[in-house]
Amino acid sequence: MKNLSIAITLVITLIVSGCEKSPLPSTTESSTTEPVKNVTTETPNTATIVITPGAEAQKKAQEAFLLAEPGDIIEFAEGKFEFDSPLSLIDVANVTIRGKGMEQTILNFSKFQDGKGGEGIKVKADQFTIEDLTIEDTPGDAIKLQDCNGLTMRRIRTWWTNGPSSENGAYGLYPVLSNNVLIEDCVAECASDAGIYVGQSKQIIVRNCITEKNVAGIEIENCIGADVYDNVSKNNTGGILVFSLPGLTIKNGADCRVFNNTITANNHENFAKEGAMVATVPSGTGLMIMANDRVEAFGNTFDGNAGAGCLIVSFLTTQRQFDDAQYDPYPEAISIKNNTFKNGGSDPQGDQFKMFTDATGQNLPDIVYDGILNQTKLVDGKLPDDLGVSIIENGEATFVNLDLGTLFAGGQPNMTTDITGFTNPLPPVKTVTIDGVK
């Protein structure tokens, strides 16, 4: 409970400024200094606070976020809202932010003032839900959620109206260091890093979303337990990324399933900010798996990705230095099974890919493996089957092992399209479960 004197002062301000409570228990003006509660809700001790467009909307919204109590609903009415500073919700559990629909409720942050941060909405709260609105033109991330347990983002659109640009915010939907994350039926466009990014989190579901014109459509980074399915990722630089990077709190991502997604024509030029890790993602990439363990990709459709439909690499491929003794830079136990590949590999970007196409005169194969192995885990010159790459039942999909480890050591790589040794099945990755989510 907030300090009583502060709460009373702020609540009086809220009531005087005209922040609506809907519906009211009576038609008479309340004389109490407590928020008027919605007595028709299933939880009668909570408030529904309605914000309408207009000159006072920012003040009312900020007060509503500040005064929120557990169980409250903050509802933005239909219309366009303009903000010049962020909206923040800190340490108040079980709050819902909602609009009237992605097309009906628009929160615009293009008038952001210098020195007021960059995110549009910032949340550090458990059991948080945001749904049915658009967040646009933030200087930084559209919505950042950190250190949360129980997050739902549903029917949210994030985008930058000027189109793809390195000046856009890095992330659209951005939960990090959180548990039990559900992102569904969302749309993310034009982010200079990732439209949907989930980092250093556990138990994640990303489903039924559309990502377009981002550097990365969907990125799962250093996460434990993620199901990414039934999404459409198109016209990004890279469609879906599953990464583990050094120097982070959660060291090594694992147990990710990527399935039943449509990953189409991710051939957009890379417009990431200089130095960003995603600046290394080659245009034309469908699915990129870097240094993660136990990743299972199945039932996906890859169509028209001009580079690698599926790219499996070690972090060492980036040739960046790192100082993290607990970090494992190698991908292990990667299963690519029962996917459909078509119309790919026609215009790969990057010297490592062109090394193959120049030597063979062929398109880049659908599935590309860098071939860099952890020498300390080899048994009789190869990885044990349970740590290897498994590529089975992908129809007419083509494959190449680029043998980049030899290249980086100064030798002549033995590039091969022989899939022998990559057909041992792996056990399935465990399904992600979140309480209350079907």
The residue ranges of every structural domain in the chain are 141-408
* Residue 116 pLDDT: 62
Query: In this structure, which amino acid lies at residue 401?
Result: N
Dist. CA 56–CA 83, nearest whole Å:
10
Contact between 389 and 426 (Cβ < 8 Å): no
- Read off the pLDDT of each residue in 346-372 and give the average, rounded to a whole number: 95
Structure token digits, residue 28: 């008479």
Question: How far apart, in whole angstroms, are the C-alpha atoms of residue 285 and residue 401?
Answer: 16
Please state whether beta strands 20-21 and 48-51 pair in parallel, antiparallel, or not at all (unpaired). Answer: antiparallel
**Mean pLDDT (whole number) for 345-368:** 95
For the cut 50, the answer to whether the pLDDT of residue 32 exceeds it is: no
Percent of the residues in the chain that have a pLDDT greater than 70, as a whole number: 89
Query: Distance between CA atoms of 99 and 132, rounded to whole angstroms?
Result: 5
Q: How confident is the model at residue 11 (pLDDT cuts 50, 70, 90)?
A: very low
pLDDT score, position 27: 27
pLDDT at 430 over 80: yes
Please work out, in degrees rounded to the nearest 5, the angle formed at the alpha carbon of residue 403 by the alpha carbons of 402 and 404: 90
Residue 17, number of CB atoms within 10 A of its CB: 11
Q: What is the pLDDT of residue 112?
A: 86
Backbone angles phi, psi at 15, to 5 degrees: -70, -45
CA-based torsion, 251, 257, 261, 265: positive or negative: positive
pLDDT at 115: 59
The model's pTM is 0.90
pLDDT at 22: 39
**For 141-145, 155-159, 229-233, 352-356, which range has the lowest pLDDT when averaged over its residues?**
352-356
pLDDT exceeds cutoff 90 at 23: no
Which are the contacts of 46, defined by CB distance < 8 A and separation ≥ 6?
Answer: 37, 38, 69, 70, 71, 72, 73
Least confident of 12-21, 97-106, 171-180, 426-435: 12-21
Lowest mean pLDDT among 80-89, 115-124, 409-418, 421-430: 115-124
Q: What is the reported pLDDT for 46?
A: 77
Task: State the average pLDDT for the chain.
Answer: 90
**Beta strand pairing status for 171-176 and 194-199?**
parallel
- Output DSSP code: residue 21: E
**Using CB atoms within 10 A of its CB, is residue 375 exposed (0-12), middle (13-18) or buried (19+)?**
exposed
Cis peptide before 428 (omega within 30 of 0): no
